[in-house]
Structure 1
């Protein structure tokens, strides 16, 4: 398997940063989902304890699914995000026993996959790519003879 210039395999530090970025984004989305669960359920629950349980049971498999699929996939945008959104519903199997939780947590997983998660994993980030393009334009303008 040849390593292309745009793949993160050339630098393991990039892979580590992508994993940390993915975990932080997922944790923030999961925390927001649990705040919504706490707001919609009438009974009082210990939100921190339940969030930690959720991250163990659903979060770890979800992050692994996203990470492995992100490194293996060559697709971008909706071609990447739609399959991940469907795959992220698999770790929610346990919520079938708790019907009030299922819609809120499923929407949280789908929102993460379709909007919050960084895509694609391979190659430089979009922000860095846009920054380089802007710097190149500025350099061309400054180097042009008057």
Structure 2
């Protein structure tokens, strides 16, 4: 799709004048293709089963790749070295923000549970996973909300 968008942009002066990226044009092509497939009887079911194979593991895989590459080939410094460097304020700020998210969401969840005791305590993890980690991390963490794990299936759509 990206290559199709690039070729469209390359051959159309009008699309270049709009400054539309190739990725947007490729996305429009993909959207239009799937919209047309839905018009053909029974083709939508085939497309859903054929194109959706393997996509459910992608968020966890991408999260692993991104976060593992952050430290690739870099020795992890000792705590004393970090605390003596001028970047210690960044580390401390990051820790305060992350632990603050967990603290605020935990206190908020407990306050809400006074009014609604049926609220699952695992609700407090929804905000830190979704905000600090972003949508890909939230999607990768959906297995934690399964019945055999945290037992909070309503947490995944949140």
TM over 0.5, shorter chain: no
User: Which of 1 and 2 has greater Rg?
Assistant: 2
TM-score, L = length of structure 1: 0.28
Higher-RCO chain (CA-CA 8 Å, sequence separation at least 6): 1
TM-score, L = length of structure 2: 0.26
